[in-house]
A and B are shown apart, each in its own frame.
Chain A
């Protein structure tokens, strides 16, 4: 542990030596997001992630937002454990019939004002699972969606951009 702490102390934050981090895009996204987020709700926004039937691909990339390269918390954005603490619901997957009720109830449990970001092709239009007897439909067929981030799965930077466009959509 001592080694780790000393490394952190002398080498500086990991985010600097992040391998091939697309620095320009990241900085652009970070700045835009920080300004927008602050204007709307002060300095912090809480995000609740809901997997409504995804293959787990989108979850991997959403998880990556927490790594030191993207470090989403530096923008005041934080993933929370309960919808009752959430301002934003980040929803993935084609909504399966078996998850429809859970999604509706989680949405209902989040306090107003709240926004929904649908992440991934499946959340947008059910992707490759369209037409299945077990799939209820895209996220927008179950709860109102404010912004959609397409991609299968969308890389972390695209999800960050989606959060920015959410604020643009709210202000427009």
Chain B
């Protein structure tokens, strides 16, 4: 049956008109839905997001290596619909999450366990709490190491269950959902401006990227456009955020290879950047600086020279650190060939950010989704093929350089003009968009009701398609290299847990 149906997004979308956000919207039946899922498994489509909305399941797909984009919607009477994860494993956790949140029934999903729901929500009577069953690993010499949810460092909570054979990890299974805060339901009924404060805190380390994406998707839904100055300032903030994390996380990788002095230098550069952000935009992490319709803060002319100077200092300081990294066999011995993620796995999961680009997946939402202000600046998207910790570190290094170049271009020709559009209309609409956060592409979709308020919001963090690959990266590596692998990914817990 499915053989006669088109499985590729490119075929399905051919001849159809895309919305202003670039997505062709289709209502499909079970057979067409499954055909598209099979298209993902065949490597013709990339799964971007899968979510529940108003008694329907929706899935955003992109043509592999192309530009066709589709949002397919299927009615799910009494919650039932054909599972996507049955054909395409990257969808499994997404479907488990939606089942926990909305009671959907993905038919044929090969995993009956909860994901975000740990049996603790008072609003949901799930009966007596069941013990979570980790996947079995059997063998005489195997032992388990449970880690978390409270970790040893100053990081977010999550549980890792290692099964090891001596020093070698034979299986890692993650259990997440500890920081689930019910963000989708919190946003419903709020004005876009009020919801922006929550969305800026889906993952606080990517507050600029989330606020940026949400502002753009609201603007698409309402058919408005932010002023030119606001767009340029958004770009500067987004790159400042990216640079601060790339520098910091590179230091963290060095730290886990026992190069503590390099980490100290990197944290100093990060502090330099955060203080510059605080002076320029009034908040060290630039929270709530981007709002639907524009930006909430201006960059004073008197601050521009200071900001440029900090960028110069960071560039110089970071180059020095990177040189030492690259000249130190003792560090490189820890990072080269450690935690390799195969390129076919990265392609299958459509993993974004440094995780994807270090294993040859040439995708960056700033270029591929092509949004302002990135359409006005020149930048390169660094790609590596090795897929190890060293490759992910080098993607960070190279991207830091690109972020500096982008910021300088934007500062060079910062347009004058208003910061927000006068009065945003209160009309209904919907939109979907990809935004490149420092760790990869974030998918945000929103539907605005007749009253001008948020009817539904869904945000899919880059980490959804990176966490499963961390399980693959650590396989056959030694337990002691897990921190290195983990830091080289730096997935989000809060962004993933929603």
CB 8 Å contact bits of A43-86 with B (1 = contact, 0 = none): 00000011111111111111110111100000000010111000
Which 10 residue pairs spanning A and B have beta carbons closest together?
A: A57-B204, A55-B204, A81-B152, A67-B267, A134-B182, A132-B182, A97-B120, A133-B123, A55-B201, A49-B154
Within 8 A of B (CB), among A1-54: 1, 3-5, 7-8, 14, 18-20, 49-54
Q: Contacts of B271 on A, CB cut-off 8 Å?
A: 18-19, 64, 67, 69
Q: Contacts of B186 on A, CB cut-off 8 Å?
A: 128-129, 131-132
Q: Contacts of A8 on B, CB cut-off 8 Å?
A: 261
Interface size on B, residues (CB 8 A): 60
**Do the beta carbons of B287 and A152 come within 8 Å of each other?**
yes
26 residue pairs bridging A and B, Cβ less than 8 Å apart: A1-B328, A5-B261, A19-B313, A52-B157, A53-B157, A55-B203, A60-B204, A60-B205, A67-B270, A67-B271, A93-B179, A96-B181, A97-B118, A97-B121, A99-B149, A100-B120, A101-B120, A106-B150, A127-B201, A129-B181, A129-B186, A132-B186, A133-B121, A134-B121, A153-B204, A153-B285
Q: Given B198, B275, B278, B492, which contacts A129 in the complex, CB threshold below 8 Å?
A: B198
Q: Contacts of A96 on B, CB cut-off 8 Å?
A: 178-181
Q: Contacts of A59 on B, CB cut-off 8 Å?
A: 154-156, 204
Assembled-state Cα–Cα distance A68/B178 (Å): 32
**Do the beta carbons of A56 and B267 come within 8 Å of each other?**
no
Q: Contacts of A145 on B, CB cut-off 8 Å?
A: none
| A-binding residues in B (CB < 8 A) | 116, 118, 120-124, 149-150, 152-157, 177-183, 185-186, 197-198, 201-205, 207, 261-262, 264-265, 267-268, 270-272, 274-276, 278-279, 284-285, 287, 310, 313, 320-321, 323-324, 327-328, 492-494
Q: Contacts of B180 on A, CB cut-off 8 Å?
A: 96-98, 134
- CB A64 to nearest CB in B, in angstroms, measures 6
Q: Contacts of A54 on B, CB cut-off 8 Å?
A: 156, 179, 204, 494
| B-binding residues in A (CB < 8 A) | 1, 3-5, 7-8, 14, 18-20, 49-64, 66-69, 79, 81-83, 93-94, 96-102, 106, 127-129, 131-135, 152-153, 155
- CB B250 to nearest CB in A, in angstroms, measures 14
Contact status of A57 and B201, CB under 8 A, knowing A98-B180, A133-B123: yes
Q: Contacts of A82 on B, CB cut-off 8 Å?
A: 152
The A/B interface has a contact count, at CB < 8 Å, of 164
**Do the beta carbons of A98 and B178 come within 8 Å of each other?**
yes
Q: Given B181, B275, B313, which contacts A94 in the complex, CB threshold below 8 Å?
A: B181
**Do the beta carbons of B154 and A79 come within 8 Å of each other?**
yes
**Do the beta carbons of B155 and A58 come within 8 Å of each other?**
no
| Minimum CB distance partner of B148 in chain A | A102
Assembled-state Cα–Cα distance A69/B183 (Å): 35
**Do the beta carbons of B156 and A51 come within 8 Å of each other?**
yes
Q: Contacts of A79 on B, CB cut-off 8 Å?
A: 154
**Do the beta carbons of B182 and A133 come within 8 Å of each other?**
yes
Q: Contacts of A62 on B, CB cut-off 8 Å?
A: 154
